[in-house]
Structure 1
């Protein structure tokens, strides 16, 4: 999937994997069926709304993490990870990473719900606002875990110009 994503993005129709109009998106990962709750009504007519629905980039990165970990190419178990609104933190957590999932303030509730329903446990969810300057407060991560993350997960939905 990764090679396909790098080699042919222009010939691909957006959201071939994700189903953004559904209230819940099912995905198989780590030997389990995950069900990610979505808020498609938040997405309609709004540009740049990313935390409300699952994007193809999330599916591709999640499957890459799973296959890389299964193949021994990436050490995930026990790793400290921060998920920058990508949604792939769920899969990293299932693979044994200590994940700090982040998202915009109005998406944190949905993020917590998806974590509780699919992963369980008590992952620390943090609000993170990003913008054109992409500034991340390093103190945010240090408050959550005194050690720096070993994995930083992020993906961006592909959009046609």
Structure 2
């Protein structure tokens, strides 16, 4: 059985995979995580905005959400992780995905007559407009504020992939 931390993280990534499937996207994962990318999500084929638009994401999970004034305060991103998402100089757009999960793994999913329920909800934020930290320290953390209106759904996830293709690269 997985320890609590790994179980929570795996559920968060699987939550995103389910949304990607519902959005008609495909996902891939590097065999080694060297640059802070947990998943690559893409829409295969030719689209009005280019061929196979894609995004890269780092998935984080949290059991206790700290929110105020419409923003989630996320403090569990160290400076190295932050730098792997911050700034405009990525060939493929990058996002931080935060999945709010139940405190107990027994509540991650529930089967009902209407279908499978995954708890709770995911959020997204781009850090492309942020400045990377010149000398990052893995022991120091950066507070990232995520708008509570940036909810991950199949439609919003698909839009992130297709609309990010229209943005100019770095």
**Fold conserved between structures, TM > 0.5:** no
TM range (shorter): under 0.3
TM-score in terms of structure 2 length: 0.25
Bigger Rg, structure 1 or 2: 2
The structure carrying a bigger strand percent of its residues is 2
TM-score by length of 1: 0.26
